[in-house]
Structure 1
């Protein structure tokens, strides 16, 4: 109970002081997602399997930058340097990631909406939808993250993810309906977040928000995001600009289009028999 009163007091004091200034900040996060890949009975060389798994692992270890003020934020993936062997860096695919988005994520806490520009099938889509409001439960646990005291919060979230194992598994010709069910999974997971009222903004990484302080770390069943660096009120003013180009769709519409693309990837892989040029793009 004492911890909760401390949270409220700190939030009120800091928030009151921020009203008199154009408060801004920047936070750097490292995101890591585990991918459960099943190659089934595919006759694939072990070194090829290892190469695929390594590429998927690297594609799901990312560094992001969150620029924020009191009402808006933009969550951007940091560009990577050129890889050894001439492979370019940049932004690779993310499989089963926490946010379900690949582009720069803009959040407006006041309007409770988000925008994200994604490229898919050579087309630009602008996802425009309502922010999900989780029923956060404030816990009494605390821990130190960098220079900040962080408080624990938990929530239950329903997540729909593409089942990557379905791409590499042989089709079940005896039961087509079972095969379709394997294309994605829907389940409820516990989300654990750590936030600090010392930075009293309702912002956080990915699509997360709504706590009395900046979210410094958050995890679900497969993804962990942790803040490694924070800069408050930098000398150079931060421009937070919502994306505006692309075909406007809801998240549900974009998810449907993405699933069609995933089916295409699966069929292409199976037609090649899992060999020769079957690398994920």
Structure 2
């Protein structure tokens, strides 16, 4: 009951004070699989197996910045903290993600994406999150934060997806993405805007920390109402497509790449190498 009244008070504060807020939040992202069990099967090259395991065990660090006002935000990546050391099997020059714009009033998103050198501007509706508000609290910097969780339900692969996985030369992650993922967010009503890093939003306060699977996003700096003028501009770069259209384009490109690397008739059948990550 106490938590309910705190939530109600936060909502009241949100509606009355959000209009006073503009700000900039900096997030540090770390993706690590050091505690995961990484196995490689179907390969006959022990040296390559060792390199794959080493590549997947290295942490990947990035820094992002979130510009926000009461109803809109822009989220974009900053220069990587350890660009020369990170990456390996976990990064790709084929795809690049630019600015992500969220408009809470219109329930819409715009995201810049570069795929094989071609720029796209993806339009989509804002995803709704069924957050479960918890009673646990903690301090992040000078802010009192509350815990909220959301479960991403795993979907079993379709028969068509199973066949595609069997035909691929390298199957990365195995069943790792077929498990439920509990997303944990820590938000502060002291910054009464409903924004957060990446795709996440919908809590009665700015999300300062977020944990999802092997990735943690932690806010390292918040500047409210800075002297420099903040303009939340919608991204403009790229060919405008819907999320469905972009997915179709990606699938078509994946098929083209499969054909490109398909063994010639009469050649030895390609052995499937599976990298399974679990905990």
In the superposition, the TM-score normalised over structure 2's length comes to 0.73
Aligned to 1:155: 150
Q: Distance in 2 between matches of 1:58 and 1:13?
A: 42
Deviation at 1:106, TM superposition (A): 0.8
Q: Distance in 1 between matches of 2:78 and 2:137?
A: 29
Change (3 A) 1:191 1:80: closer
**Residue 8 of structure 1 aligns to a residue in which SS?**
helix
CA-to-partner distance for each residue in 1:201-223, whole Å, 9 max, x for gaps?
01000100000000112222333
Q: Distance in 2 between matches of 1:221 and 1:61?
A: 15
Is residue 62–residue 80 contact of structure 2 (8 Å, CA) maintained in 1? no
Q: Distance in 1 between matches of 2:261 and 2:38?
A: 14
Pick one of 104, 120, 134 that aligns with 1:109. 104
CA-to-partner distance for each residue in 1:103-138, whole Å, 9 max, x for gaps?
211111111111111011221111100011011111
Deviation at 1:199, TM superposition (A): 0.6
Pick one of 193, 196, 200 that aligns with 1:204. 196
Q: Distance in 2 between matches of 1:203 and 1:63?
A: 17
- The 5-angstrom pairing of residues 233-248 of structure 1 reads 233-248=225-240
- The 5-angstrom pairing of residues 20-59 of structure 1 reads 21=20, 23-32=22-31, 34=33, 39-44=40-45, 46=47, 48-49=48-49, 51-52=51-52
Structure 2 gaps of 5+ residues are 264-269, 272-279
In the superposition, the TM-score normalised over structure 1's length comes to 0.72
Structure with the higher fraction of residues in strand conformation: 2
Aligned to 1:124: 119
Aligned to 1:278: none
Aligned to 2:222: 230
Alignment length, in residue pairs? 253
Q: Distance in 1 between matches of 2:183 and 2:81?
A: 32
Deviation at 1:251, TM superposition (A): 2.0
- The 5-angstrom pairing of residues 174-213 of structure 1 reads 178-181=162-165, 188-213=180-205
Q: Distance in 1 between matches of 2:93 and 2:131?
A: 26
Q: Distance in 2 between matches of 1:254 and 1:112?
A: 19
Deviation at 1:2, TM superposition (A): 1.5
RMSD between aligned residues = 3.9
Is residue 188–residue 207 contact of structure 2 (8 Å, CA) maintained in 1? yes
